Every structure is written in C-alpha cells, then in structure tokens.
Amino acid sequence: GIDLPDRVAFAFEGSEVISGGGFLEIDHDAGRYAGGAALTVIEVGVSLLVVIDTQLPGGDEGWAFFGSLGIDIPGIPLGFGFTLEGVGGIIALNRRMDTEALALGLKQGAADAIMFPDDPVRDALILIPQIDAYFPIDVGNTVIGPVVAIGWGAPVSLVTAQIGVMISMPQGLIVILGSIAMALPDPEVPIVEITMDSMGVVDLANGTVTVAASLYDSRLLGVIELSGDMAFHVATSPQPYFALSIGGWHPSFQPPSILPSVFSELERMRACIALTEDIGITLSAYLALTPNTVQFGGRFEIEASVKVVLTTYTARGWFGFDVLLIFSPFKLVADVTAGVAVYSGNKELMGVSLGAHVEGPKPWFASGRAQFTFFGVKVKFDFTVGDKAGPVALETVDLLPLIQAQIDADNAWEVTRGSGLQAGVVLTAHDDPAASAPMLADGYLTMRQTVAPLEQTLEVYGHALPAQSRIDFGETQLTDATTGTALSGVTADPVLDWFAPAQFEKMSDSAKLAAPSYELHHAGVRFGAETTMAGADESTAMPLGHETLVWETPPTPDEPPVVSSAGRGKSRVLVDGWYDHSAITARRVGRPTVQVPHVTVAAATMPTEAAIR
C-alpha cells in the first residue's frame, strides 16, 4: 500500500498578490486533523488555525472542533487617533474554557497567542498543545467569540490593544481576553515598552468574577525590566469572598482553596535595573487585600559580579520588609531583614545578615537575630523583647441575654413573600404604627440573630469564653396575640447566615489566615403555613383599562378621590387563628373585563415574646 504523509506544507512564492504558506497535519491514531496558514493577500494578513478531533480522549466515539481566524488590516481610522487594525474570531465546538490554565499562561503571552498568533505555521507545535490546555474537550459545550485589534497613534500605532469576548455555554462563562502592547515615544527606539496580557472571567453558574493580568517583556529606558502578576476575585455565592493581590502575598499567608489556582502562582511586581553588565539592582513589592487582612512588603537588592580565572565572585546586599495586618482578631505582624554577603559561585564566603520580627498588640513581642559568616564559620545571636502571648484568663460572656436582646428588636423579624400566590396584591402600611405587619398567606415570618451561630460547638467568643458551649433552638411556636393561643399548622425551618469562624473556634495564627473569612451557619428560624387553599371561585371578573376623573378644583389631602369598590373575593389559609382579609378592587361600568385569580392576604401576628432555650 501507499503510506500517506502525516504532514503536508505549502507556500506561495513569487506572487505580488499572495504570499505565505500553511500546513496540514494528520494523526491517524488519535483521529486528529490540524491545519494552519499565515498568508498575506495584497496588504491584508490572514492567520488561520483549525484542529478537528474525530474521536474523544481515551478512544471514545465523538468529535470536537477548534477554529481561530485573525485578519490584520491596514489601519481604518475610528476617530481620536484610534484605528481598527485587526478582526477575527474563535469558535470551539464540544470544547470548554479552562480559565485557570489560561490565567496561568498569561505571563507567557497566552492571550495574544490565542487571539492573533504571529505565525500559526511556525508555532503550531506550541499552539496546538495550548489549545488542548485552554480549550479541553467537553462534549455538548460551545465557545464562541469575536476578537478585534485597535491601535492608537499616527502614522505608526504607539499602543495596540487586542480584545476578545468569549462566551462558553452551557458552562456559563463570559471571558474577556486582553493584550496590550505599548512603545513610546517611537516604536523603533522606545523609551517605554509595556506588554501585558489580561483576562476577566464572569462565572454565571458559580457567581464569581475573576480578573488576572501579567506584565512581561516590558522595559523603561532600555535598562529597567518590568514584570509581575495581578489578580482580583469576588464571589457572591455560595460563600461571599473577595481578594486582591498585586505582586503576590505575605510569605506566611496561604491563599484559601476557594480562590482560583492562579492566586497561588502570583509573582512579585519587579523592576530589574542593569547599571552595567556586572552590576544590577532589583526592586520588588506586593500589596494584597482580603476581607480579614492587609498585606504589603518590598525588597531592595543590589548585586555585583566579577569573574576571576574560572570562578565568579558575587557581592550581594539587600533590605526587605513584610507586614501583615489581621483585622479579626486584630493583630500586626512585621518582619525586617537586611544583610551583605560575598559568594564564590553558590557558596557563601563571608557575610552579615540581620533580622527583626514584631507582633502585637496583645501582647507586643519583638525578636531579632544576627548571623555572621566567615569562610564557612557561622556565628548566630538572638534576642527577645517581651513575651509571646501565653495562656491568659479570658472573660466569660453569657450569650443568651445578647441573643434575647436581638430577638426582641423589631429588625430581627422580617416578613417575606412566597411564590405560590399571585403578586398582584399590594400590602399597605397600617394606620396604627404598633399594629402587626401583614403578610400573604404563602409568605414567611423570619427571625434572625447574628450574635453567635446556633446548633454548633462554641469554643471562644472573640477574645472571651462563651458561658454556653452550644446554643440550640428548643420548642418554637407562634402565639395569637388576640387570643393567646398557639397557632397550629405552622412550619419552622432553620435560617442560615454568615459568621466568621475565627470568632467562635480556637485556631492558630496560620489556621486563621488559611480559614475562610465567613461560613454559613444556623442563625434563626423561618415560620410559614403548612398549606394554603384558594377560595371556591377560581377567578373574579375585573375591569380592564383606566379611569379618568376630572375635578373643577384640585382635591385637598384631606379629601382624596373616591373610587367605587368592586366585589370582594376571598380565600382561606388552613392555619388556626390567622385572619382572613381581601383585596379591594375598583371597576367602572362598560369597561372590558379580565379574569383575575383570587389571592389571600393573611395578617400574621408577630410574637410578643420569643426565647432561646
């Protein structure tokens, strides 16, 4: 038989209309067909990359498709110095987006490579594995999105921004990719060169928003290299949280597991200055925020090297600091380090290093160290000022009166509407401010307290000890304020709220940093009716339209307009002691009518007494 080639390449040469080339690659064992092209048609550049899989990983039956198209065009003026320099798009069938892998690849130029690859033919061996990493096969999912390239500056663009908006469904992701390249004041001889890839992810399914960016291949004055990573994350459900990091984290802080993995790989914001070929300065810094911490720090380092015969000798000096502020319970941790050293290769010949550690304020504690090295001999000195926090007698707090005080407050009780009955009934305020709040028959009466989580072991209460190691709900009931009898047919379901675990659990400092800032725990109870029942009539005829009333003199506030009332329709709630009310409607003779289902307004009496047992 004839062995067909696994790869075919083509090129256009000697034509003034079209130039460039492409390839087609076939992997028979994996069932994969890949092809790409980088062409120039007159003055328009076209880049194309396609990957078709005819079988799924593991040999299962199925297929997947990825296609990327980029068109570079002569700048089309958009106004205010902006030009449209490129358009394109990405489509992936039976594939999804791996945003964590994509975020980790930003520092290698992943966004730019995906949207507008420079040469998909030359870089195919790199791009195709990236496609599998960033867009893994997922049967039933589709990714699609347009990309554009916009420049600013004339006659040559000084700033170029590539932007792509990707939608992945039913994965539920909206991803915005961005790549910015800036060369000022002249792209040929730039003083400022900035290259940054960024990504924003809106995860509709999980209720999160994540933004990540990486600075790379950037320079100032041709001698200062700039780099670093940034990331921001906010979650609304199931656990609210936010985090912002510019350049990483405090050395003792471990990002919580609820954050995307890119937060564990952030590099310092760094400026490397080459004074000469053998002398360099490095400046690095970071700033980070979480709901319970503020973290910042920096480091200055200077290094000089000289080569003698076959050995490189290096002198290094440094100064750095790290600060960590913990809000709850409040704590300050600061570390400072400085030193100088001389190395032969990687071996330290001589040096001096100093360090200090401060934490507080309950109590303030400071320690320091000094180390001297002289040709392999090391001498260490340590000193301490103050004592670390030891066992202290903690105040005992009785939580029951605190919880009872919250229960007695009006803002601890809330009436909410259900979803079973029509929403056309509007509940108005009672003339008597002291009257009970009305509620629909399918509504709920909720009691919520935030003193301490219920149904859970309480080890501490902030900086105190709780008098109760656990607080549980005993019997709960609603009482008719008019008759004094307990209402029957009432359900009582637990209500959850957010509590800071460090306020109620014994944790080490490292555990407090790693623990989630808030967790959902039992906080109260929600009362509702076991069943509701509509009236005998399914609907009532009501007028359709509006009514116009004309007064020769404007009515005064004491003489409001009078509207005739229509018949009243009722339905009942199968709960003893709950009161039946009706909505009043207006009608006018001769108007068209519409059928409106009956609804019920039930006045639920709020309890005058409530207690935790």
In terms of phi and psi (left: phi > 0; alpha: psi -120 to 50; beta: otherwise), the region of 68 is beta
Q: How far is residue 302's CA from residue 283's CA, in Å, rounded to a whole number? A: 9
Q: How far is residue 227's CA from residue 215's CA, in Å, rounded to a whole number? A: 5
* DSSP bridge partners of 150: 84, 161
Q: How far is residue 610's CA from residue 478's CA, in Å, rounded to a whole number? A: 9
Average pLDDT of the segment spanning 550-560: 59
- Residue at a domain's end among 222, 257, 279: 222
Average pLDDT of the segment spanning 384-392: 63
- Residue 185's pLDDT is what? 86
- Residue 594's pLDDT is what? 46
Residue 363 shares a structural domain with residue 511: no
Range of the domain at 334: 240-392
The answer to whether 202 and 128 are in contact (CB under 8 A) is no
Q: Which residues contact 48 (CB under 8 A, 6 or more apart)?
A: 22, 35, 36, 37, 38, 39, 67, 68, 69, 70, 120
Comparing 386-395, 474-483, 490-499, 504-513, which segment has the lowest mean pLDDT? 386-395
Share of the chain above pLDDT 70, in %: 79
- Residue at a domain's end among 513, 529, 545: 529
* pLDDT single digits (tens) 239-273: 778 899 999 999 988 888 888 888 988 999 999 99
Mean pLDDT of the chain: 80
Q: Which residue has the higher pLDDT, 115 or 297?
A: 297
For the cut 50, the answer to whether the pLDDT of residue 12 exceeds it is yes
For residue 473, which of 501, 452, 499 has the smallest C-alpha distance? Answer: 452
Helix (H) / strand (E) element for 130: namely helix 124-134
* pLDDT single digits (tens) 49-68: 999 999 888 778 899 999 99
Q: Which residue has the higher pLDDT, 563 or 349?
A: 349
Residue 28 shares a structural domain with residue 43: yes
- Pairing type for strands 396-397 and 465-466 reads parallel
Q: Which residue has the higher pLDDT, 214 or 421?
A: 214
Q: How far is residue 248's CA from residue 496's CA, in Å, rounded to a whole number? A: 33
Tell me the DSSP string of 148-175. Answer: EEEEESSSS-SEEEEEEEEEEETTTEEE
Binned at pLDDT 50, 70 and 90, residue 336 comes out as very high
Binned at pLDDT 50, 70 and 90, residue 292 comes out as confident
Cα separations (Å) of 551 from 528, 554, 560, 562? Answer: 46, 6, 11, 12
Tell me the DSSP string of 328-354. Answer: TTTEEEEEEEEEEEEEETTEEEEEEEE
For the cut 90, the answer to whether the pLDDT of residue 432 exceeds it is no
Residue 371 shares a structural domain with residue 410: no
Q: Is residue 187, in this structure, part of any structural domain at all?
A: yes
Binned at pLDDT 50, 70 and 90, residue 440 comes out as low
Residue 159 shares a structural domain with residue 178: yes
Residue 246 shares a structural domain with residue 372: yes
Q: Which residues contact 293 (CB under 8 A, 6 or more apart)?
A: 250, 253, 324, 325, 326, 327, 513
Residue 16 shares a structural domain with residue 132: yes
Cα separations (Å) of 284 from 23, 64, 225, 315? Answer: 44, 44, 12, 19
For the cut 90, the answer to whether the pLDDT of residue 231 exceeds it is yes
- Residue 431's pLDDT is what? 62
For the cut 90, the answer to whether the pLDDT of residue 175 exceeds it is yes
Residue 334 shares a structural domain with residue 372: yes
Q: Which residue has the higher pLDDT, 362 or 183?
A: 183
Q: Which residues contact 24 (CB under 8 A, 6 or more apart)?
A: 7, 8, 9, 33, 34, 35
Binned at pLDDT 50, 70 and 90, residue 161 comes out as very high
Q: Which residue has the higher pLDDT, 464 or 176?
A: 176
Q: Is residue 199, in this structure, part of any structural domain at all?
A: yes
- Residue 586's pLDDT is what? 35
- Residue 377's pLDDT is what? 79
Q: Which residue has the higher pLDDT, 264 or 463?
A: 264
Most distant pair of Cα atoms in the chain: their distance: 111
Residue 202 shares a structural domain with residue 280: no
Comparing 30-44, 265-279, 299-313, 368-382, which segment has the lowest mean pLDDT? 368-382
Q: Is residue 377, in this structure, part of any structural domain at all?
A: yes
Q: Is residue 601, in this structure, part of any structural domain at all?
A: no
- Residue 540's pLDDT is what? 55
Average pLDDT of the segment spanning 125-152: 92
- Residue 389's pLDDT is what? 55
Average pLDDT of the segment spanning 144-151: 93
Whether the CA torsion 53, 55, 59, 62 is positive or negative: it is: positive
Q: Is residue 328, in this structure, part of any structural domain at all?
A: yes
- Residue 575's pLDDT is what? 34
- Residue 504's pLDDT is what? 87
Residue 244 shares a structural domain with residue 265: yes
User: b or e along 149-187 (b: 16 or more beta carbons within 10 Å of the residue's beta carbon)?
Assistant: bbbbbeeebbbbbbbbbbebeebebbbbbbbbbbbeeeb
Residue 124 shares a structural domain with residue 65: yes
Residue 157 shares a structural domain with residue 9: yes
Q: Which residue has the higher pLDDT, 116 or 560?
A: 116
Helix (H) / strand (E) element for 604: namely none
- Residue 583's pLDDT is what? 36
The answer to whether 126 and 109 are in contact (CB under 8 A) is no
Q: Is residue 295, in this structure, part of any structural domain at all?
A: yes
Share of the chain above pLDDT 90, in %: 33
Q: Which residue has the higher pLDDT, 189 or 473?
A: 189
The answer to whether 283 and 300 are in contact (CB under 8 A) is yes
Average pLDDT of the segment spanning 567-593: 36
Q: How far is residue 110's CA from residue 126's CA, in Å, rounded to a whole number? A: 11
- Residue at a domain's end among 470, 499, 529: 529
* pLDDT single digits (tens) 73-122: 888 888 888 999 999 999 999 999 999 898 888 888 888 888 888 788 88
- Residue 412's pLDDT is what? 85
Residue 210 shares a structural domain with residue 346: no
Number of independent structural domains in the chain = 3
The answer to whether 107 and 214 are in contact (CB under 8 A) is yes
- Residue 599's pLDDT is what? 44
Q: Is residue 572, in this structure, part of any structural domain at all?
A: no
Q: Is residue 538, in this structure, part of any structural domain at all?
A: no
Binned at pLDDT 50, 70 and 90, residue 595 comes out as very low
- Residue 596's pLDDT is what? 45
